[in-house]
Every structure is written in C-alpha cells, then in structure tokens.
Structure 1
Amino acid sequence: MKRVAIVGASLAGVRAAQELRAQGYDGGVVLIGEEAHLPYDRPPLSKAFLAGTAERASLELLDAGDLASLALDFRLGVRATALEPGNRRVLLSDGGSVHADGVVITTGGRARTLPGFEGAHTLRTIDDALALRAALVPGVRVAIVGAGFIGAEVASTCRSLGLDVVVLEALPLPLTPVLGPELAAVCARLHAEHGTELRCGVSVTGMDAAGVRLADGSLVPADVVVTGVGMIPATDWLAGSGLKVGNGVHIDAGLVTDLPQVVAIGDVAHYHANGVGRRHEHWTNASEQAPVAIANLLAGRTERTYTPSGYVWSDQYSGRLQLAGHPRPGDTLSFVDGDPASSSFVAVWAREGATVGVFALNNPKLFNRLRRPLRVPAAV
C-alpha cells in the first residue's frame, strides 16, 4: 500500500493519520478537506469559541510538530466528488484526482436544515460559528429550534452573553430519546434555572423577519434564529462507488466496508455488530474508532472489532453532563449519589443485574470510576 487517501479533514481524519504513522505505515498520506481550514476541534464551536473567549489557534488539532512528523499531503478547500474503487481513485471538485491504494472515509456530515428557515443559522463548521458569533450582539433576541446537545449549548452560551433566549422543542422534554424522561427533566430544569425559556411540544413552520412561526399560528419574536436539528451524513459523493450507504457508510464491526481497502470512521460511519447497525455522532467515538479501522485497513481484512464506549459530554450553563454506556428503554434507572433535584449527582442504568450506563451532572470523579467496568452489549 503506497498511498492512503483520508477523505475528510476532521477529528476522525486526523486520528486516522496519526494511527497510520503510529502503526508503522510509512507511505504517502493525502488528507482531503472540503473546508479551506486545517483540521480543528468542533466542541468549542458552541461554547468558548462562540462566546469569544477562545481564539482560533486553540482549536487546532495539529501543531507544527504534528505537521512535520505526519508528513501529510493536504488537499484543502476541495470536495471529494466520487470514489472509483476499480481505478483506485478519488475524484475532486477542482477537476483533479488522488490515486490511493487505501481510503479512509471521515467526511462526517452537514447540518440538517428545515424548510421555511432560509436565513437561519446552523452550527457545524468554524465559519458557521463565526457568522453566528457576529450576529450575537447585545440586545438581540435568540430563538433556537431544537433542544438537543447543540441547541442547549448554544442557548447556554447566549445566556452567558446576556441575551434573551427561547428554545423550541418538538418533544415533551429535551433529549428524552437519549436520557429518558427523568433525566430529560433535569436538562429542562437547567434551562429554567438560567433564564432560558424552554417551550416543549411545539411544532415550527418557518421563520420571517419577525421571528419563528409555530404550527398554531403564533409567533416567537426573534432577531437571530438557530436551528439545531441534527446532521446528514456526507455520502452523496459515494454514489456509483459500489459501497452501501444509508444513514452513513455501512461498515462491519471492524469499521471496514464491503471493499477491504476502504474503511469509515466518525459521524459518517454506520457500523454493524450482530445484525444491529448504529451511527454515533460523538467526539469520543470518532477518536476511539481510528486504531481499529487503521489496523484492519493495513491488514487488508477485518482482524479487530470496535467496541464503543458510548461516552459523550455536554457543557450546559453551570453543568457538565456526562454519559457512558448504552442504556435502552426498559433499563432500570437509579441514583447512586445525590438526586435529580441536586446540582451534582450520578445515576446508573441496570439490565439483568448489570450496569449498562452511567450519567452524571457535575460529578466527574464518581462518573469516571463507575464507567470503567461498564458492560458493553454485544449488539450495539
């Protein structure tokens, strides 16, 4: 294998490059990125960077030493438009192409948009964050559609800037599918305690210069509108490649596609184990997958399998929320330290007598101790 192309200059792409070198690969590595920027860290985009308390340099994933040791051939500001496995070629939007014996797909995805919300802000890239930051001037009213992690973090940042914020959520409580109703109520409480108006069970129809229109005909006044309603995996460029796609790139438990010379990592990776497929949109997942995917790419077959930790964190207002494991509806939730009304607690989910998930609010020490022995289900 003389050259590997990594398609996607993301965290997953950087980890893939680092693993290639760490596992002894000394061939050429081309890193293709649609954005013109060098790879950067995304979690601060909704927090310190959006608030203006973190500088651009603090987001860099590669320092001068990394750039020298990894010896990457960067192709930035161009998009991959096609994969031709038979020709071992990745076609690019500038008319060029990259010949590669192995391909690592780390394209992530694009922010999902809503019809009728032309002109609303999304938050996926550094340019998105810069545009939104410029709009958050004193006195503006902010409406956020979606109370997931991104929506909640943006609301928290806006409140730290002294802005009036309303969050609009279709579910009865925010993050219910992830956390269940009891812990979702904790997230709702955080909004209320910090002066954010949270309106759940509402349906939006569009926006105009006055604000956001609801299905009942009412208007939520807003000067700035942000939609945080998920992302769409970037797989359109793989049409005709022979790879199976659908809610991401389909891969086996070793993160390998139907073509052994092509693997996928990160938000775009839809991996399967024991007949069950899942895609995780978490920073930790993108980082943890790289060692397994690269080992299998270099071996030319699936020799190692990936076991997800399910770890995700979110900084909201005065709270750090941490989740690990893979709880499911029907698992038994219990509080092992504190209670849901307190500012610091730890809860666990159990199934068949074993702990399968841990959640903490402002209690990292106990959370980290309890997450270590977690049983990860075979089918994830």
Structure 2
Amino acid sequence: MTRPSSPPPVALADYERLALERMTARAEAYVNGGAADEITLRENRAAFDRLRLTSAVLRDLSGATTRTRLLGLELDHPILLAPVAFQKLVHPEGEIAAIQGAGAARAAAVVSTQASIALEDIAAAASTPLWFQLYIQPDRPFTRDLVARAVAAGYRALVVTVDAPASLRNREQRAGFHLPPGVEAVNLKGMAARRDAPAAVGDSPLFSGFLSGAPTWDDLAWLRGLSDLPIVLKGILAPGDARRAVEAGAQGLIVSNHGGRILDTLPATIDALPAIADATRGEIPLLLDGGIRRGTDIVKALARGATAVLIGRPYVHALAAAGAVGVAHAVHLLRAELEVAMAVTGCARLDEIDGSVLWTA
C-alpha cells in the first residue's frame, strides 16, 4: 500500500514541523532556542493563549481591508518580517529567498546586521520596503559606514536593537552550535575585531571590559545625525524606557524581548505592551514581536496598542521548509487568519480594533 503523502501546511505550526525535518540539530538549536530555561520563550506564546476574543455579529463589513500606514509606508497588511541573522543556516539562498517571499506576500521586512548575504544584494532582490536592523558596534566608525551603506541601498528606516548586550543560550551550548563554513555575518567584514579572551573561572565573565563598547542613550542622538531615516528602537519592555525613547526622538518602538533569547523570565511582550502604550500615548507607532503564530494574535496585539507585528521564527521555519514559496505562503496564511478574526470580531478596518474585542469575564 502506498503511504499517503504529508498533508500540505495549513498553519504556521505545520511549517515548524516541516522545518524540523530539514534543519540540522545545531541550526534547530539556534533558530528555536531561547535564553537559559526558556521560560520567556514559552511565555511569549502562552500569554497570547490566555487572552480571549469576543465576537460581534451583524456588523457592516463592506469595504473591509487590512491596509495600514506605518512611518510613511502604505502597507497591505500589518505583518512584517523581523530581523533574523544567518538565514543561510536553514536555506542555501538565505535572506534572498526570504525577501522574495516577503515581496510575493506584500510584507515589509527588516534585514539583520548579521545577515549572511550583503545588505546591498538583499535590497537589489527586494520588491517590498526594507528596514535595516542595526547593532551599534564598538567600532563606531564602522557603524557609521554601515548606516551609510543602508541609506545608499534604499532602506527606509533604521531598527536599532537595544536589548542585547549579552546573552546565554543553553540549548545552543548543549548542541555545540557554531557557524558552518559559508555562513557568516558578511556585513561586518572589515570591522575592527575585539580581542577579548575567555574569562577564567574566578574572573568576571562579563564585567571585565566586554561591555565597554555597549551603546547608551547618547548613541541615539549620534545616530540621528548620520541620516534622515526614521529610527525605531527594538527591545523595549519598560514604560520608562519607552517614554525616554519618545523624548530622545525615536520615531517608532518594537516591544520585544528578542524572542526570549536574551534574558530569561522577562515578561511576554503582549503583557508588556499595554503599559508601553499608556506611556507613549499614541505619539509614535508601536510594533510587537514574540509569540505571533495566528491571525488572532495580531488582533490581540492591535487591541492592546500595537500598530503592526513582526514574525521571526515562523518565517524562518517556512524558509527552511520551502524557500521563498514557503515564506510567501506562511505570511498569506497569517493574513487570511487575521481577516477571519477581524470579520468575526466585527472589525472592518485595523483602526477599529481596540480593547472592546478582548473578552472579559
């Protein structure tokens, strides 16, 4: 008897299953792992599951749309690809395939500083708006040149990751993760290399000088002087930091705990979002990443104050499973679920989604 073929993917979870069949054990540890005991990694998802939506019937949904405007971009929907490093780990075409998939699904995307393909080559392959994710390097002149490259290549905003001075990811350590030949952070070639020796037992593992080049709030003012691109800060969880970012001239924030990859036991992003929305008072757009797996999650994020959301692991799973076609299909599935959720909650437009769609006892 012929064994039936695997059913086609109909949800993002199906792409995660397919990706496991195609990734090496070390790549899987890198993509799916989180910090320490991975409590925050799991909580990002669990917090969405605890929220419930309420339905609304007999609403006029004529002319319903998912279109939105974000930092000067007219977008067909509020789903963006988050920056993910080293995408050649899971597919030979890496970021090129991901960006082509994003274009087919009409999704804007954020390209990582640590992409495994040059930022100029990614931009040349894009048919959708791109933002450039920036890690401010200890080599500030190199960082300045990196910003200039992004401007010249046509990127539309700088997404400055501010929450990742250091991390410990035990799943990667146990798997013995290292970059294989042919995969590297090509955009950082030529940067002055650090010469930090591994700390011996008894010495300070981190505070003996490793953080001496870490960025501070002063660097935000410096960055603003390098280009006219909007600056979006990624990695904001505290209302005080959100307020300070607005006052320092940030033009958008991404509420993020780095997918649970930096410090374990941080709160889920969807739980942190309401207080940040209160602190920023609608003055700048808020985006959210971490745990988005369903269209209902997008509705919940918008109901709590987000303008748009980003997905990371889900599109990397789709990239591993089916390349550009997989990425496009994954975004399409998520957009279809969003439209279903909007229809059942009675929202014809994204700006109609507010706290009233969340069920309360």
Q: State the TM-score, normalized to the length of structure 2.
A: 0.26
Q: Considering fraction of residues, name the structure with more strand.
A: 1
Greater gyration radius: 1
Higher relative contact order (Cα pairs below 8 Å, separated by 6+ residues): 2
Q: When you count helix as a share of all residues, which structure comes out higher?
A: 2
